[in-house]
Structure 1
């Protein structure tokens, strides 16, 4: 995965200086911790005997004080540096991910599942953050300590350096590799069993009535218990392996302590007092090293958890740099469609088949058709979210897709479920125009018939709208979305079936508000029925991706029998 990775490795290179500093501080932290314990142990042992020279006690006292001060200082500096590095990395990481997802926003329903998106936005970012903090950093620190210990002891005694090379190598490399190979496979199997268990449980609970009617209640319970038993057995094997691995790690640390104890006592015992003075020194010095090494096997094993996250992230499309300046549009803002075809990616079904259409500026157009006729696809093409697979579509001579984010300056959209953020009413409305004054906001609220409603709220414009705008009814949320559009002053407004789910009375009131407030703008109304169609200048019917009817409501009512029939059915006659 790391060979082809373009999500994790770039940040290692981009912040390599900060990374090196954090690793260096981490190494110095454990060096100071080991030095503190070593000098403290020697001082305790030496102070229990009569020193031949005061320097034999005074020097360890100074070193103990020095190491005691520098250990927390280095630890604090390492935490500040490493977490600052991770926070900066995570910030850019999220931005890169959001930019990548934004490029594919209109294809979410066809390319991604909701669970994948939620995983990308939460779990995967946390996994990558843990990959740095719990795996990459500790391993780099351990490798640095490994090099210092082996080289230092190798200079004093090549034989002892070789012993440490083997023992520390087993802890730093062999045990983590063993954990990845053995327990990594078990972790993957545990994940598969757990996912299957969740899926079966959800499906069976949703279909519990069928199990009861079929009198197979016990079969369902037995099946679920068998799946749970399989999961528990796998988890028990994981825990058993971890206990065995941790025991071996402690045995190796004991061997390191005994080797250092014997070597130190024989090497320095005659120069600085008896061998007993070195027992506490070397034994205590091992404790900080254990803190640096004990978590490595578990950290390496966790890399299996990150594999799915890396796969999902690397499967995202690379972020493309948008042009710094979009083309300028000049009036009139007419739409021109010439032989427009569209086929969705990864499918062979053509949704639009040679549509020729002109939508002049200022015209009120209703686009109708049954589900699957191409209405929503046409709306996406007009917004520039999609590009025709063949033919040409322009707005004032420019393809809408070339306008990028600037398309929002020309086209406002109100869809089926306008979203309100969990902030104040004023902030929600100013999304349309950040520079709008409160007087401007009150003016558009009066236009959409909500001024009195907002005035009655506890804090007026400063009232929180609650999550997803639940403080307001469906009709009020649509009117607030319209107020945003009016503040933005976009010349073109696209209504994408905005009244779906509203009751007939509220629907009629909302549409009347729309028609009144938007009378001086180009209005494109995507709808599935003919209520209120008389307020439009033009009606277009799409059928099987092609234009089936086109004309004013009066013309179609006089000349088109099918239109009259559809109108009668829609009105319940």
Structure 2
């Protein structure tokens, strides 16, 4: 916790709520103990001959007061503590999303999907339990421990010392034993759950390979083995907990007997008088069991909490936005000026000294082999990455400064656009939430999907299957184009949108793209030359360097490498 930047700040941020929750927790148990104390006294006193009615009436009033106070304070304490924890964990989740989002480009390199699922479902949940199951109960129990010893010490310092030791077994010794014996198992349980998340996501994402290799049963067996190992750990945890709970109840039995012996000597008499206090002291023990019983279970989970805090603190620090987001007006010129880039973990330059100017309405194709740096250049243009050297600007403003607002100026169509499991109209309104139905039908007409949607049972309200599986690859690309048309941005980045399509569908899709986007600036990342003649410029990136640049007609006349690429693309060599 010393260098923690995730959990510790909330102690200061919400310290008033924290203090209030702890105070209410102590008052709740005080009311519970006082209720039983008054009840014990009242029962004993009512069985004797009270000298005055006030000796009965006052305990009755106090019993009612504490009886009402206990659930009221308990309810308010729950409201305050859970409100505090939920505010804290909601902020933690927002911070987690922000941390991962700013590093989204490197997400697959640095994190496995299962690790993130573990952070979301296990670590955040553990941090929540850190307060509700450990910090709150522990501080409340320690506070009560001090008050009980001081209260008994008022009557008998010697017996207070004995209770100090007896309650100390419950407050300190049993929790320590739980940490030493069950803490490691608790940590192992958490690690196994995280590993299950990782294995499950890996295997689900690659389930087709398991099936095609006819090893589907091996996958099931492997998962069942992992589940059985986790169940075995759970059985050991539960077995230990049963033994510990037995010892805990046994200790409270000993404490109760000790109180009976002490009170019988401290307040002697057969009936009435001081003897009325015996039941009062003894009965007040039972509500306190609820205060001290959670301590061993809370202590054993501290290792898991520590691991969760470490996992969160290993994530990148969330950087604050620098200043206001720029606002541009008029035609946009994209300038790539002496740009070089290398990834943080590698000194090798992915891009080296790239210079390019893209005027408003100009169309450029970026060619290159896989790994040549095309996708990195696209990420730099969008502002998702920052250049190592040089700069990429829109009308003189570096693109990374726009942050999320870059979507106001630049739209992207990916290789595999995602369609969400909602209605067609909701999927399209991702481009512009305020789009009317008429505008949606217009863009569907423009991309060639209007007749298809009209034939569907619910039209625009037809539910799209998860990931858009009811639509073909070409139809999903046309849906993505419809989103872009609704978005109405001046610059469009096409990131190999025709990969995996047959030649006829590919050519039809290319024609639709360039017909509907003819007034836009287009950056087309592609792996071959079909439809390349519609471009104003063609550049070729090889090993991060710009090795070819010019119009298609110029390159066809002057560049033998370009002509060879065309022949390869057509299959003539």
Q: Same fold (TM over 0.5)?
A: yes
Q: 1:94 to 1:207 in 2, by over 3 A?
A: closer
Change (3 A) 1:208 1:491: closer
**Segment drifting more, 485-494 vs 154-163:** 154-163
Query: What's the TM-score once normalised by structure 2's chain length?
Result: 0.88
- In the other structure, the counterpart of 2:566 is 567
Q: Kindly indicate whether residue 132 of structure 2 is the aligned counterpart of residue 133 of structure 1.
A: yes
Q: How does 1:48-197 map to 2 (within 5 A)?
A: 48-189=47-188
The residue aligned with 1:419 is: 418
Q: Which whole-Å CA distance do the structure 1 matches of 2:196 and 2:317 have between them?
A: 34
Structure 2 vs 1, CA of residues 470 and 40 (structure 1 numbering), >3 Å: closer, same or farther? Answer: farther
Q: CA deviation at 1:528?
A: 1.1
1:408-462 C-alpha deviation (Å, 9 max, x unpaired)? 1111111122223333333333332233333333322222222333334444434
Shift of 1:304: 1.6
Aligned counterparts of 2:468 and 2:345: Cα–Cα separation in 1: 36
2: CA distance between counterparts of 1:526 and 1:279? Answer: 87
Deviation, 1:471, is 4.4
- State the shift of 1:389 in Å: 1.1
Distance 1:195 1:5, change over 3 A: closer
Per the alignment, residue 495 of structure 2 pairs with 496
Name the structure 2 match of 1:32: 31
Q: Cα offset for 1:473?
A: 3.3
Contact conserved, 2:114 with 2:195, CA < 8 A, in 1? no
Matches within 5 A, 1:237-252: 238-252=237-251
Does the 8 Å contact 1:265/1:275 carry over to 2?
Answer: no
Residue of structure 2 in register with 1:450 after alignment: 449
* Alignment deviations for residues 474-494 of structure 1 (CA, whole Å, 9 cap, x no partner): 333222222222222111000
How many Å separate the matches in 2 of 1:365 and 1:470? 32
Q: Secondary structure at the match of 2:571?
A: coil
- Cα distance in 2, alignment partners of residues 265 and 56 from structure 1: 21
Q: Distance in 2 between matches of 1:540 and 1:381?
A: 17
Q: Deviations over 1:12-52 (max 9, x none)?
A: 21111111112222222222222222333333444445545
Aligned-residue Cα RMSD (Å) equals 3.3
Distance 1:164 1:513, change over 3 A: farther
Mean alpha-carbon deviation: is it higher for 158-167 or for 480-489?
A: 158-167
Q: Provide structure 2 residue ranges, at least 5 long, that are not aligned to the other structure.
A: none
Contact 1:269-1:278 within 8 A present in 2 as well: no
Q: Is the 8 A contact 2:114 2:198 kept in 1?
A: no
Q: How many residues align?
A: 564
Quote the offset at 1:108 in angstroms: 0.6
Q: Does 1:255 align with 2:254?
A: yes
Q: Is the 8 A contact 2:48 2:272 kept in 1?
A: no
Assess, with a 3 A threshold, how the Cα gap between structure 1 residues 226 and 128 changes in structure 2: closer, same or farther.
Answer: closer
Distance change (3 Å), C-alpha of 1:57 and 1:124: same
TM-score between both structures, scaled by the size of structure 1: 0.88
Aligned to 1:10: 9
What's the CA shift string for 1:219-262, capped at 9, x where partnerless?
A: xx9x9999999878766654454344333322322232223223
Q: Secondary structure at the match of 2:527?
A: coil
In structure 2, the CA distance between the partners of 1:198 and 1:403, relative to structure 1 (3 Å rule), is closer
- TM-superposed CA distance for 1:100, in Å, is 1.6
Secondary structure at the residue paired with 1:494?
strand
**Residue 306 in 1 paired to residue 317 in 2?**
no
Contact 2:269 2:275 in 1 (8 A): no
Query: Offset at 1:503?
Result: 3.7
CA distance 1:536–1:185, change in 2 (3 Å): same
Q: CA deviation at 1:314?
A: 0.6
Indicate the residue corresponding to 2:21 in structure 1: 22
Change (3 A) 1:211 1:380: closer
Give the alignment of 1:392-541 within 5 angstroms. 392-541=391-540
Distance, in Å, in 2 between the alignment partners of 1:373 and 1:254 is 75
1:493 partner SS: strand
> Structure 1: any 5+ residue segments left out of the alignment?
none
Distance 1:87 1:224, change over 3 A: closer
Alpha-carbon distance between aligned partners in 2 of 1:478 and 1:224, rounded to the nearest angstrom: 37
Residue 183 of structure 1 contacts residue 241 of structure 1 at CA under 8 Å; is this kept in 2? Answer: yes
